[in-house]
Amino acid sequence: MQKYISVLFFLMVFMAIGQKKQITVEGVFANEFRTEGLDALRSMKNGKQYTVLNRDYKTGRTTIDKYDYTTQKKVETIVDSQNLDALKEFSAYEFNEDESKILLATEIDPIYRHSFLANYYIYDVKTKSVIKVSEGKIQEPSLSPNGTKVAYVRDNNLYIFDLNSETTEQVTTDGVKNKIINGITDWVYEEEFAFVRAFAWNADGSKIAFLRFDEEKVPQFSMDVFGTGLYPTQEVFKYPKAGEDNAEVTLHMLDVASGDISKVDLGNPYYIPRIKWMNNANYLSVQTINRHQNHLKLLSVNAKDNSVNVLLEEKDDAYIDITDNLTFLADDSFIWTSETDGYNHIYLYDQDGNLMNQVTKGPWEVTNYYGYDQNEDRVYYQSTENGSINRGVYSVASNGKNKKALATEEGTNSAAFSADFTYFILTYSNATTPPIYTLHKALNGKEIKEIKNNDSLIDKLKGYELSAKEFSTIQINGNELNMYMIKPKDFDPSKKYPLLMYQYSGPGSQQVSNSWMGYRDYWHQQLASEGYVIACVDGRGTGFKGADFKKSTYLNLVKYETEDQIAAAKKLSELSFIDENRTGIWGWSFGGHMATNSLLKGSEVFETAIAVAPVTSWRFYDTIYTERFMRTPQENPDGYDDNSPLNYPELLQGDFLLIHGSGDDNVHAQHSMRMAEALIQANKQFDWAIYPDKNHGIYGGNTRVHLFNKMTNFLNENLRDRKAEGNLDTKEQPSIDAQIKG
């Protein structure tokens, strides 16, 4: 008997040693699987060196270090916080044009998604002296090209700080919270046009162009902030919901020497989403677009007399996306991207706006424009030429000929080029390879050396139970849709597994991507370890498969996207190893809307759904995003209401978990509150959670751990642990297997 006990003990020890660990949300959000990166890398103007912001997280010491591209050795430390008496650390930096001064940011206080307040200092590279720009925290400071002045915004007004005299001039005086904003954007511009700094120096520092926002007519939105005090406080800000008034935006020109400000007459455009100076210091480019966002103009403004000329116009039956893909060449001819031919491509125009030629062409998308090397006549870009779930780096002559594939290994390739386009640093990853950073010659893509990898993370993950992300396509509603699937590591095709689908589906988005994992992927790995099959299908309306595919959901957001998810779930449920009685779906934001709609409208296929911070009515969301895809509620009431789950809560049959942060300035908690009330009045039971004072990201402290454990427990109780169907004979494979192409 003792012998058998010893053998049994040995086997138990051996199994324990050989057994791999399971991914947990505690580990994910404790950054146990953090990837190594190159933080805030910037090329020096000489094109031979670059700088990186380095931080010692134990001591807080921060440095800006200069590296040589070819040797990858550190040349010098330009700034070291240990040598600065004025500030102990900094978290962001910006050089002026001649790299003689550096703007350092510290003590950052976030406001919304992109905006923040901070204390700023100017570091003189030669003298190593430090000057504080302002005694109070400010926004969006910008050094003049010659490094003698700093323009910034404080309390909605524009200021200029003179470094030589150390004096400050207040440029505008009418800025008032929730009324007038000078030089930075309002909430909706920041969120949807993705910029905050709404002013810019011209090439010689003699002029500043800036936008002014008059918010008087914009309705106010208020949120209670519960905090830790005896009484809550209230956050009040201007938020234009679909169909409501936007801020009136105007363009103004400041003559720096005289202080004179003049208004530029642009003909009352509805939106001004971009301003950018040309190389000629007298000319400013301005992009304007109408409320429907389907008629874009690129204008040229002569700063001498504020005269305006149209460089180009674009119109679309649906909408036009705003991008930063505008580059002025030495003579102010320019490169521009457009979906004019049905795919996003690069075009070259002369300085008067005449089309010279289409640089790229084909049934694929340019996904990033990196720049133009005038000396070699090479346009550098990233695209989907090697498959819509992949990204490759290419170059081509400005006449569209002599294309070169620089980095096209299957997966995601992205590049950061040196200022003179001699080198680029490639970041490469795929679904099984965390980021690798390598140095390459720009002209031919030849690898010079590896800079950094994540081999230590790979070694660490060898001790964990991980399942492959299997990419395929699936035929749904007449379209071949991209899909991935994750199966349990010990997958047995004779067993039945619960299916959890993950969704986003916002216009132009992509979730099925051959790239390294994010935190949601790690959570999906945990669920796979616990016995789930995970699937994600990018349906109609998602990106990188042409304009027609992306814009097919125009005026009917979530209608066709939901139909695709329901149809995909039905088809996947035919697989021999999927239990058709245990199918769930989850998503966040737009994906939360999708999860809610799929559960309600697809009750015959979905048993469970989780909606995190969901939109529940597009009537509650902001003007710029919503009207781009839906027009206004006044013009398109059916489009808004027919696909709002607020209008059919009685369809709920499955188990539903509704989650929101009470401090969400983006998708307001109003969405979930109204959804809850609709379900209550329909006498439908559901689970829900409100995270106090948390914004759209729902994070901070243990919040994410709590959130993802709550979702895990909900799924285990309502999906995984439902009574499973019996096993099937795997020799009888349904036709669906042949319809999913690996």
Say if CB 672 and CB 686 are below 8 A apart.
no
Q: What is the pLDDT of residue 101?
A: 95
Radius of gyration of the chain (CA): 27
Residues 6+ apart with CB under 8 A from 93: 40, 53, 64, 79, 102, 103, 104, 105
Partner residues linked to 109 by β-bridges: 117
Q: Which residues of 380-411 are buried (b: 16+ CB within 10 A; e: fewer)?
A: bbbbbbbbbbbbbbbbbebebeeeeebbbeeb
Report the distance separating Cα 521 and Cα 33, nearest Å: 12
Q: What is the pLDDT of residue 722?
A: 82
Work out the number of other CB atoms within 10 angstroms of the CB of residue 555.
15
pTM of the predicted structure, to 2 decimals: 0.93
- Using an 8 Å Cβ cutoff, are 41 and 65 in contact? no
φ, ψ for residue 302, nearest 5 deg: -85, 115
Beta-bridge mates of residue 611: 587, 658
pLDDT digits (tens, 9 = 90+) for 287-298: 999 999 999 999
pLDDT of residue 532: 98
Torsions phi, psi for 713 (to 5 deg): -65, -40
Torsion-angle region of 115 (φ positive above 0: left; ψ -120 to 50: alpha; else: beta): beta
The reported pLDDT for the residue numbered 1 is: 40
Cβ–Cβ under 8 Å, residues 596 and 641: no
Count of beta carbons in the 10 Å neighbourhood of residue 377 = 13
User: Sign (positive/negative) of CA torsion 683, 689, 693, 695?
Assistant: negative
Closest among 587, 594, 582, 612 to 687, alpha carbons compared: 612
**pLDDT (0 to 100) of residue 85:** 87
5 bridge partner residues: none
Find out whether 152 and 139 touch, Cβ atoms under 8 Å.
yes
Contact 335, 372 (CB under 8 A): yes
Query: DSSP string spanning 619-687?
Result: GGSBHHHHHHHH--TTT-HHHHHTT-GGG-GGG--SEEEEEEETT-SSS-THHHHHHHHHHHHTT---E
Q: Which residue has the tokens 């001004």?
A: 272
The residues of the chain scoring below 70 in pLDDT are: 1-18, 40, 723-742
Q: What's the full length of the chain, in residues?
A: 742
In this structure, the dihedral spanned by the alpha carbons of residues 236, 242, 247 and 251, taken in order and rounded to 10 degrees, is: 140
The per-residue pLDDT for 19 is: 80
> Which residues make beta-bridge pairs with 587?
503, 611
- Dig out the tokens for 336 from the structure: 């521009």
- Position 724 scores a pLDDT of 52
Sign, CA dihedral 105-110-115-116, equals negative
Dihedral-angle region of residue 183 (phi above 0 means left; psi in -120 to 50 means alpha; beta otherwise): left
Each residue's pLDDT tens digit, 343-356: 999 999 999 999 99
């245990």: which residue's tokens?
582
In angstroms, rounded to a whole number, what is the distance separating the alpha carbons of residues 95 and 104?
Answer: 9
pLDDT value, residue 6: 40
How far apart CA 93 and CA 103 sit, in angstroms, is: 5
Q: Which residues are catalytic?
A: 589, 664, 696
Backbone dihedral angles phi then psi of residue 228, each to the nearest 5 degrees = -125, 0
